[in-house]
Amino acid sequence: MAQSGPPHFAPDSPQTRLGGRDAPFEILARVGRSLLETDDFEQQLALTLSLATEALQAGRGSVMVFDPELGELTIRCAHGLPPEAIDSRRRFGEGISGWVAANREPVLLHGGVLDERFEGADPTIGSSLSLPLAVGGTTLGVLNLVRRTDERFTEEDLSLASSLADLASVAIEKARLHTALRERESRVSDLLAAVIRAQEQERRRIAGDIHDGFLQDLSALFLRAEIAKSHVEAGRPEEAAEVLVALQEMVRAQMRGVRDFILQVRPPALDEVGVGPTLRMMVERIATENSIEATFEDRTGPGRLPRPLETIIYRTAQEALRNVVLHAHARQIWVDMSRGEREVTLSVRDDGRGMGSDASSGHERRNHYGIETMRERVELTGGRLHIGPWAGGGTEVVAVIPIDAVD
């Protein structure tokens, strides 16, 4: 089957085969109509291949899609090829398909492929047509059609297939844009839902803190005031004054508490001096209040990070540290921030008792949203959150967040 010498390019053939008995115009009209049937990218590729193999009576065929970022063509649908052919790749510019994609010119070949342009091509190939799928200046892929050697493609076949490929290209590009738009829309609505969820969880937590903290303390204040009142009514002004002094002290403590609470909800330092110094203050405060040894290292270098990124890092550190204080029984905490070329890494490690097996099973853990919210917030940016045991004993939380994710 293989023959030596250069490949035959479009030999003239008296037997014109145009997809059975139909004239090219009729075939193309039918192809054009069919291509309007779907706006789904994958379906459009499959449709293109089935229309082309039928119209050109090709025993084998494939549609390859070009990925400009990888510089590769990938077989996305195939006819008459072994299943493993799907997803096989070709470098742009290499082999027949690579050449066709790079030069945006069709190629008709017969017999053994010994043409030096197509190095690496299957030498047992029969008669083949490879057509660029392209719109304007954009290469979308390649349509390959193959017949047995004794049923060679003709010049007319080439011309019909080229017109078909041009029609299909427009339809494929339209479907590609349509599908990309749909994916984008669904990503945006996922994102919106996640943002709303994270916001609601944060509000729930704040509401819980106000309930457990301030509301109970206020009831205690009210009770003291009642006692003072009854002393006054009973004509015991000295006792009343004593209670009032204690009450004043309680109010003062409350005011401090409210101030701290506001700082935690949204520390002004985060806007004023950035996440590094704000985290340092937070770590120092936690260390003093809980008698834990804590070290904080900021290796992000000079200059501020994008503001939304700073907020995400701060919130992540805040929840991780809150968990250490509430659950870990740690003696030591290490907080570290570093900056790579494309991402910022935050790690919070403790030497406490570890998470145990109960922590991750979210189903039974109603009202425990800390880790979930932390993870969601980081993953929304395209980052990763790891939480688990580490070599130093205790628990580590490591968040890796792309720098350009938010701005």
Ligand X SMILES: Nc1ncnc2c1ncn2[C@@H]1O[C@H](COP(=O)(O)OP(=O)(O)O)[C@@H](O)[C@H]1O
Binding segment for ligand X among 167-175, 237-245, 271-279, 349-357 (CB under 6 A)?
Answer: 349-357
Q: Cβ distance 108 to 9 under 8 Å? A: yes
Shortest separation between residue 307's beta carbon and ligand X, angstroms: 25
Shortest separation between residue 323's beta carbon and Mg ion, angstroms: 4
What one-character-per-residue DSSP string does 110-169 give?
ESS---GGGTT--TT--EEEEEEEEETTEEEEEEEEEE-GGG---HHHHHHHHHHHHHHH
Site string for ligand X, 224-243 (x = CB under 6 A): --------------------
- Rounded Cα distance between 407 and 397, Å, is 24
Strand ranges across the sheet with 127-135: 89-91, 72-79, 60-67, 138-147, 127-135, 107-110
Q: Which of 95, 141, 267, 352 binds ligand X (CB under 6 A)?
A: 352
Residue closest to 175 by CA, chosen among 298, 48, 338:
48
Site for ligand X in 279-338 (CB under 6 A): 323-324, 326-328
Site for ligand X in 79-138 (CB under 6 A): none
Site for ligand X in 376-405 (CB under 6 A): 395
Q: Which amino acid is at 162?
A: S
Binding segment for Mg ion among 20-28, 168-176, 226-234, 367-375 (CB under 5 A)?
Answer: 367-375
Shortest separation between residue 388's beta carbon and ligand X, angstroms: 10
Residue whose entry in the numeric block shows the structure tokens 């145009």: 18
Binding segment for ligand X among 50-58, 233-241, 353-361, 399-407 (CB under 6 A)?
Answer: 353-361
Binding segment for ligand X among 86-94, 147-155, 159-167, 362-370 (CB under 6 A)?
Answer: 362-370
Q: Cβ distance 257 to 214 under 8 Å? A: yes
Shortest separation between residue 359's beta carbon and ligand X, angstroms: 3
Of the pair 91, 327, the CB lying nearest ligand X is at: 327
Shortest separation between residue 279's beta carbon and ligand X, angstroms: 17
**Rounded to the nearest 5 degrees, what angle is found at the Cα of 242, between the Cα atoms of 236 and 243?**
90
Contact between 323 and Mg ion per CB under 5 A: yes
Q: Which amino acid is at 215?
A: L
Contact between 56 and ligand X per CB under 6 A: no
Cα within 13 Å of Cα(303), Cβ side: 6
Q: Provide the β-strand partners of residue 167.
A: none
- Rounded Cα distance between 296 and 313, Å, is 14
Contact between 350 and ligand X per CB under 6 A: yes
Residue 389, token pair as written in the block: 């045991």
How many helices and strands (H and E) does the chain possess? 10, 11
Count of residues interacting with Mg ion (CB under 5 A): 2
Sign (positive or negative) of CA dihedral 319, 320, 322, 327: positive
Binding segment for Mg ion among 202-210, 236-244, 316-324, 342-350 (CB under 5 A)?
Answer: 316-324
Residue whose entry in the numeric block shows the structure tokens 């204040």: 221
Of the pair 161, 371, the CB lying nearest ligand X is at: 371
Contact between 368 and ligand X per CB under 6 A: yes
Q: Provide the β-strand partners of residue 339.
A: 344
Shortest separation between residue 387's beta carbon and Mg ion, angstroms: 11
Q: Provide the β-strand partners of residue 334.
A: 295, 349
Of the pair 41, 296, the CB lying nearest ligand X is at: 296
Binding segment for Mg ion among 8-16, 131-139, 369-377, 390-398 (CB under 5 A)?
Answer: 369-377
**Site residues (CB under 6 A) for ligand X?**
323-324, 326-328, 350, 352, 354-355, 358-359, 368-371, 395
**Site residues (CB under 5 A) for Mg ion?**
323, 370
